[in-house]
Amino acid sequence: MRSSSSSFRARIAAALLASAATVGALLTAAAPAAHAADTPLRDLGAAKGKVIGTAVTGSKLTGTYGDIAGTQFGSLTPGNAMKWGSVEPTQGTFNWAEADQIVAFAQAHNQQVRGHTLVWHSQNPGWLTNGSWTSAQLSTLLQNHIDTEVGRYKGRIAAWDVVNEPFNEDGTYRSTLWYNGLGADYIATALTRARAADPAAKLYINDYNVEGVNAKSTALYNLVKSLKERGVPIDGVGLQAHLILGQVPSTLQQNIQRFADLGVDVAITELDIRMTLPSDSTKLAQQKADYKAVTAACVAVARCVNFTVWGFTDSDSWVESTFPGQGAATPYDANYAPKPAYYGISEALGGTTTPPPTGACTAAYSVGSQWNTGFTGNVTISCSGASLSSWRVSWTYGAGQQITQAWNATCTQSGAAVSCQNASYNGTVPDGGSVSFGFNASWSGSNPVPTVTLG
Ligand code: G3I
């Protein structure tokens, strides 16, 4: 499916001469949306020796979400699908459906998978957390879980977050089912077992608030040092990087470097940068600078091998539900248009991009649900610093798609050429506003996203 990247050209809006009689303005718009002709992040990363990844939700890997996930990223992390509570909700009854789906998608798109996560205090099944276990029983449960899950995906996982979030903020061990039942050596036990189950997978300890040099990251540093001295298998540390706007730690690169000097790889595993809603151009510009700074810190250290965002679109982020009033934390907006943050990553990876100009109206095409013979499409026309009193959007299908029905626009298709114009009631797109229309269409073979022209 990598070949689809050439056909996955983003939506652009062409120069548009508005009627002087109606809006009295010359609207020039050339907004490359999701990817335009820009080099995909995964290719930019590869040129720098970095694998660029995203967390994903398996059920969403179709349509535009799937296109972006498959085209832009070289690594996928299941956001929830590989957690113990997801894979073994009832003791002895396994549900691998979403995890299998993500691994299969990754293989089809020539992507790595980061396995997340084997040993954690959260998102465990009720039967496990509510049970009353002896240390021996707990140790057996832990080891069997690792054998089962790592063994199932043996050879298909590039790296496992074996242990997730073992520390408190002050650097002491977090009180968890595992620490309380087995002592700190549950970490060594888990790593050793994971190595035996899949010798090729890189084994990580992953935590948050360990991005800068601080008490917690120093505890992680000391743990890794001692594990290495003891000969316990440990290949890398994951810095989650759930950050707050304007608060990239000044010691990020120094911290990455000290782990590299210890002889382990480093991954940015869950990057997002949240802001107080609503977003505005000032906050988005700061967010771009922050994303760029984190990317640059990884680029600067050879052993920073993977740079993963925790969801690539604001429509698929944990932030809003966890921090009320906060959000817009990812590089793409909820309509799959790249935000300034996207260009921050791209620029730090050496990409040259053309961000959308200010004062323009743009049209963005996306595929919603898709089934074996048909799909529902959506086009959103948005204006910022400009406005429209009527509009026409056109595109050419590259794979035989055929529109069967449209709503909120009048669409005609002649051969591969489609032209849609506003209905009587939605020609006006005000400055700062948007208008959408939808359609049903048939497809077979492939369903690449066409380049759309507004004008
Ligand atoms: O699947 C159920 C759904 O059936 C139900 O209707 C719904 C109602 O709340 O819940 C759904 O499950 C939610 C699940 O995400 C899937 O969306 C859980 O409630 C929710 O708690 C869970 O949140 C996840 C969170 O980990 C749990 O701590 C986030 O999606 C996930 O992004 C987040 O990821 C963690 C990393 O694993 C570790 N580092 C921090 C990071 C952010 O918290």
- pLDDT, tens digit, 9 for 90 and up, residues 343-359: 999 999 999 866 555 56
What span, in angstroms and rounded, lies between the C-alpha atoms of 101 and 13? 35
Query: What residues are annotated to the active site?
Result: 270
- The CB of 327 under 6 Å from ligand 1? The reply is no
Region 49-62: what's the mean pLDDT?
98
What span, in angstroms and rounded, lies between the C-alpha atoms of 56 and 77? 6
Ligand 1 atom 15, closest CA: 80
* CATH 3.20.20.80 boundaries in the chain: 35-348
Q: How many CA atoms lie within 13 A of 438 on its CB side?
A: 6
Residue pair 58/311 in contact by the 8 Å Cβ criterion = no
Distance 59 CA to ligand 1 centre (A): 14
Ligand 1 atom 13, closest CA: 80
What span, in angstroms and rounded, lies between the C-alpha atoms of 247 and 393? 41
- The CB of 144 under 6 Å from ligand 1? The reply is no
- The CB of 57 under 6 Å from ligand 1? The reply is no
User: What pLDDT, in 10s, does the model give residues 105-157?
Assistant: 999 999 999 999 999 999 999 999 999 999 999 999 999 999 999 999 999 99
- 1 vs 67, 308, 317, 364, 448, CA distance in Å? 9, 21, 25, 22, 10
Q: Tell me how far apart the 2 most distant CA atoms of the chain are, in Å.
A: 82
Q: At what angle do helices 215-230 and 252-262 cross, to 10 degrees?
A: 10
- Return the SS3 of 435: strand
* CATH 2.60.40.290 boundaries in the chain: 360-454
Q: At what angle do helices 252-262 and 281-299 cross, to 10 degrees?
A: 20
Q: What is the pLDDT of residue 11?
A: 30
Task: Please give the backbone phi and psi of residue 243, each rounded to the nearest 5 degrees, phi first.
Answer: -105, 165
Q: Which two tokens stand for residue 216?
A: 């917690």
Q: Which amino acid is at 49?
A: G
DSSP assignments along 171-214, one per residue: SSBP--HHHHHH-TTHHHHHHHHHHHH-TTSEEEEEESS-SSSS
**3.40.718.10, 3.40.640.10, 2.60.40.290, 3.40.50.2300: CATH of 360-454:** 2.60.40.290
Burial of 90 (0-12, 13-18, 19+ CB in 10 A): exposed
Q: Which two tokens stand for residue 154?
A: 């043996």
Residue 15 pLDDT exceeds 50: no
Mutate to test the pocket of ligand 1, among 80, 86, 242, 271 (most ligand atoms within 8 A of CB): 80
What span, in angstroms and rounded, lies between the C-alpha atoms of 229 and 345? 36
Ligand 1 atom 25, closest CA: 318
State in words which class domain 35-348 has: alpha beta
Region 209-236: what's the mean pLDDT?
98
Report the atom number in ligand 1 closest to the C-alpha of 122.
28
Distance 182 CA to ligand 1 centre (A): 26
Residue 35 pLDDT exceeds 50: no
DSSP assignments along 36-55, one per residue: TTSPPHHHHHHHTT-EEEEE
User: What pLDDT, in 10s, does the model give residues 289-333?
Assistant: 999 999 999 999 999 999 999 999 999 999 999 999 999 999 999
Report the atom number in ligand 1 closest to the C-alpha of 240.
39
